[in-house]
Amino acid sequence: MTSTVIVDAMGGDFPLNVPVQAAIDLCNEHNDLNIILTGSEAEIKSVITGRIPSNFSIVNAEDEILMNDPPTVAFRKKQNSSVHKAVELLVNNEGDAFFSAGNTGAIVATAFFKSGLLPGISRPALATVYPSATFHKLIVLDLGATIEPKPENIKDYAILGSAYSFLITGKEEPVVGILNVGTEENKGSRLVVESAELIRKATSLNFIGFVEGNQIFVDSCADVVVTDAFTGNIALKTVEGLNETIHTLLKSKIAPPKWGKVGSFFFKRIFGETLSKFQYNLYGAALLLGVNHLIGIGHGKSEETAYKNAILRLKKHIESQFIRKFKEKVDKELQGK
Amino acid sequence: MTSTVIVDAMGGDFPLNVPVQAAIDLCNEHNDLNIILTGSEAEIKSVITGRIPSNFSIVNAEDEILMNDPPTVAFRKKQNSSVHKAVELLVNNEGDAFFSAGNTGAIVATAFFKSGLLPGISRPALATVYPSATFHKLIVLDLGATIEPKPENIKDYAILGSAYSFLITGKEEPVVGILNVGTEENKGSRLVVESAELIRKATSLNFIGFVEGNQIFVDSCADVVVTDAFTGNIALKTVEGLNETIHTLLKSKIAPPKWGKVGSFFFKRIFGETLSKFQYNLYGAALLLGVNHLIGIGHGKSEETAYKNAILRLKKHIESQFIRKFKEKVDKELQGK
């Protein structure tokens, strides 16, 4: 089968050059992949050097969404943006998935209004797979779709996360927890206490209650951790910052002039694998769960590798019929209770 | 001068043995340090082997605060607890500082009611010093005193953090930021948006607006980062978890049988310093800022090294007259505006 991934050429900190180059490389490498770039056709063409692959195409979109445009402004006033066009293509079945490293709020608002929510789901959520020491795949959501959710939304995140975990791990009843400052039932904000009650009452999920920040990595106590977007985003970015810092510190200690070839050898063997586990560009895209189409959102800083990994991840999900199976699993949970 | 540190013998995951041993060792090593342990005298005595140093004493307290006791229950119903006794000793000037690795909520409530808030300050906050790649000392607060603060409280954290930063770095006008999901003014929760407005309006602090999670470590863009306790606690614990995980992964790759002596040499030289920078037991105690006395709170998991580092840190603060200077700096900021 051939998969069609739509890519926002205008999003992120490195628009045009980076997404265009990633797309052309991937089109050359994969015969079973079509890529449609949305954005200013003239600008996209201006950065292409060499032959354009036949499985690469452009859909023109002139409006520019800025990183600090409020979501509803981006959605209502910029109806000819690269994000708008991309979601329209999805809705018209002219593409199977969409990836952008652009303004998250704008993408979420556009997806919310144009792709629409799954029946029974109150809010979409941005989910990512966290690596762990034991190669356990942990899903954390929401990372940025809704800054101030209600318990009802958190309950839905638990359903969405559980279905996602099932699809990538095969576990029929993944363990779900809520991120909190303690594991005791009486600890935490009203939001987490009320959300826990609601998940217990309104779902048949395999729910274990609260998990703490350190358990995200150290214990494999949960397959899915739900949280509000504020907390989720800060936890994710803090990890990113710490990882970069450790990397920098270690590299500064083992610079070749200081440690020679032996040091370099150890550095690469030991760190290459370990620290890269925690680098966001390996994962590329977080999935926007809860809408009717397959949408991946990348880090603003995404470079070529991140774009490529994200697009290839979406291609895999298309091939495995992720969206159809995901909807079925969510529906089963909603019907089951 | 001789400093007197009061230590809670009953708090944390390893009560009695760990704090008692840490205290006795320190008393033997430091002539200019008195340590008073609060807790069950009989139980404390039962774990002491060998000679009791003359600068070590016990104040009996029989009530036991459990880790999941709600703060007000611990404060009102357990008036003969080790925490209660300790704060009483502080208030009566029988000690200069107090350290506990126990129930944070109980310690905060007891300090709030018995030590009392500094004039003009609405809430105390738990602050710690984060290490960074550049050896820049970054202060983050609140990490656990108030789960759902108001903008007024966040504004006070900015004042407290700024005074703390001044005392440990000497910078007259430390740069203060609020932790948020983006740096743009219109991004984030109502709490952070309103807090930013209030800090701008009601203080003369050197305030730069929002900082993101990754900037905690990577950039030295701020000296003080303020946040609500929920977010702060989760960011701190996530860092702790990631650090432990990286440590475990790296160690598993360089176990002596696999890499031999050369590998071990590089492991120790490279990691010893780098990763330990991010281990909480080096810092030992977070300070409870905003009350009238010097109080340090440790991680529940604190082991002997953490206790010792925490007590020695408090000893230094006593010697440098931290509390008097801190109050003066806070007062200056409050008067100045």
Neighbouring C-alpha atoms within 13 Å toward the C-beta of B105: 19
State the pairing for strand pair B138-141/A97-100.
unpaired
Closest CA to A125 of A175, A87, A164: A164
The answer to whether A190 contacts chain B (CB < 8 Å) is yes
Chain B partners within 8 Å of A233 (Cβ): 181, 213
| Residue B261 scores a pLDDT above 80 | no
Work out the average pLDDT over A222-226: 94
Q: Which residue has the higher pLDDT, B271 or A23?
A: A23
What are the φ/ψ torsions at residue B327 (nearest 5 degrees)?
-60, -40
| Residue B260 scores a pLDDT above 80 | no
Q: Which residue has the higher pLDDT, A188 or A278?
A: A188
Give the C-alpha separation, A31 to B222, whole Å: 49
Q: A280-294, B92-106, B169-183: which has the minimum mean pLDDT?
A: A280-294
Percent pLDDT > 90 in chain B is 69
What one-character-per-residue DSSP string does B110-137 give?
HIIIII-BPTT----EEEEEEP-TT---
* CB-CB under 8 Å, B233 with A181: yes
Instruction: Render pLDDT for B32-54 as a digit per residue (tens, 0 to 9).
Output: 999 999 999 999 999 998 899 99
**Can you give the pLDDT at residue A130?**
79
The answer to whether A254 contacts chain B (CB < 8 Å) is yes
**Can you give the pLDDT at residue A237?**
87
Question: Helix A322-336 crosses helix A304-319 at what angle (to 10 degrees)?
Answer: 60
| Residue B24 scores a pLDDT above 70 | yes
Give the C-alpha separation, B80 to B78, whole Å: 5
Q: pLDDT band at A245, cuts 50/70/90?
A: confident
Q: pLDDT band at B186, cuts 50/70/90?
A: confident
| Residue A232 scores a pLDDT above 70 | yes
Closest CA to B102 of B39, B43, B53: B39
In angstroms, what CA-CA distances link A105 with A76, A89, A144, B196, B336? 13, 19, 8, 21, 40
Instruction: Render pLDDT for A324-335 as a digit per residue (tens, 0 to 9).
Output: 999 999 999 999
Q: pLDDT band at B195, cuts 50/70/90?
A: very high
**Can you give the pLDDT at residue A137?**
85
**Can you give the pLDDT at residue A269?**
63
Work out the average pLDDT over A224-253: 84
Give chain A's count of helices (H) and strands (E). Answer: 12, 11
Q: pLDDT band at B217, cuts 50/70/90?
A: confident
Work out the average pLDDT over B225-247: 87
Q: Which residues of A, range 52-91, sit inside 8 Å of B by Cβ?
A: 67-68, 70
* CB-CB under 8 Å, A216 with B233: no
Chain mean pLDDT for chain B: 90
Q: pLDDT band at A68, cuts 50/70/90?
A: confident
* CB-CB under 8 Å, B269 with A250: no
Q: pLDDT band at B134, cuts 50/70/90?
A: low
Smallest Cα distance from B275 to chain A, Å: 7
Q: Which of A215, A233, A250 sits opposite B241 (nearest CB)?
A: A215
| Residue B331 scores a pLDDT above 80 | yes
* CB-CB under 8 Å, B230 with A181: yes
What is the distance of C-alpha B211 from the center of its chain? 22
| Residue B280 scores a pLDDT above 60 | no
* Nearest residue of chain B to residue A132 (CA atoms): B245
Q: Which residues of B, range 118-147, sit inside 8 Å of A by Cβ?
A: 132-133, 144, 147
Q: Which amino acid is located at A250 in the chain?
A: L
| Residue B255 scores a pLDDT above 60 | no
* CB-CB under 8 Å, A147 with B181: yes
**Can you give the pLDDT at residue B176?**
97
> Residue B40 in contact with residue B62, Cβ under 8 Å?
yes
Q: Which of B235, B242, B244 sits opposite A234 (nearest CB)?
A: B235
Per DSSP, A215 falls in state: G
The answer to whether A230 contacts chain B (CB < 8 Å) is yes
ipTM rounded to 2 decimals: 0.86
* CB-CB under 8 Å, B278 with A270: no
Chain B partners within 8 Å of A70 (Cβ): 186
| Residue B135 scores a pLDDT above 70 | no
| Residue A27 scores a pLDDT above 60 | yes
Q: Which among A252-266, B43-57, B280-294 has the top mean pLDDT?
A: B43-57
**Can you give the pLDDT at residue B245?**
77
Chain B partners within 8 Å of A259 (Cβ): 266
DSSP H or E segment with residue B206: strand B206-211
Q: pLDDT band at B95, cuts 50/70/90?
A: very high
**Can you give the pLDDT at residue B225?**
95
Q: Which of A215, A254, A262, A274 to mutate to test the interface with B (most CBs of B within 10 A)?
A: A274
Work out the average pLDDT over B169-176: 94
Chain B partners within 8 Å of A147 (Cβ): 181, 188-189
- Residues whose CB is less than 8 angstroms from the CB of residue B51 and which lie 6 or more positions away in sequence, other chains included: none
* CB-CB under 8 Å, B132 with A246: no
Give the C-alpha separation, B151 to B200, whole Å: 12
* CB-CB under 8 Å, B240 with A239: no
In angstroms, what CA-CA distances link B118 with A213, B18, B153, B159, B327? 31, 33, 13, 12, 7
* CB-CB under 8 Å, A273 with B250: no
| Residue A174 scores a pLDDT above 90 | yes
Q: A19-28, A149-158, B31-40, B65-74: which has the minimum mean pLDDT?
A: B65-74
Q: pLDDT band at A216, cuts 50/70/90?
A: confident
Q: pLDDT band at B263, cuts 50/70/90?
A: low
Smallest Cα distance from A271 to chain B, Å: 7
**Can you give the pLDDT at residue A276?**
62
Work out the average pLDDT over A209-231: 88
Q: Which of A242, A262, A297 to mutate to test the interface with B (most CBs of B within 10 A)?
A: A242
**Can you give the pLDDT at residue B23?**
98
The answer to whether B275 contacts chain A (CB < 8 Å) is yes
* CB-CB under 8 Å, B244 with A242: no
**Can you give the pLDDT at residue A273?**
61
Q: Which domains does chain B have, with CATH numbers?
A: 1-121+290-319 (3.40.718.10), 128-279 (3.40.718.10)
The answer to whether A245 contacts chain B (CB < 8 Å) is yes
Q: A271-285, B49-63, B98-112: which has the minimum mean pLDDT?
A: A271-285
* CB-CB under 8 Å, A236 with B274: no
Instruction: Render pLDDT for A289-318 as a digit per residue (tens, 0 to 9).
Output: 999 999 999 988 889 999 999 999 999 999
Q: pLDDT band at B268, cuts 50/70/90?
A: low
Instruction: Render pLDDT for B138-149 as a digit per residue (tens, 0 to 9).
Output: 899 999 999 899
Instruction: Render pLDDT for A78-107 as a digit per residue (tens, 0 to 9).
Output: 999 999 999 999 999 999 999 999 999 999
Chain mean pLDDT for chain A: 90
Q: How many CB pairs under 8 A join A and B?
A: 167
Work out the average pLDDT over B128-153: 86
Q: Burial, B209: exposed, middle or buried (Cβ in 10 Å; 0-12, 13-18, 19+)?
A: middle
Smallest Cα distance from B154 to chain A, Å: 16
Neighbouring C-alpha atoms within 13 Å toward the C-beta of A326: 24
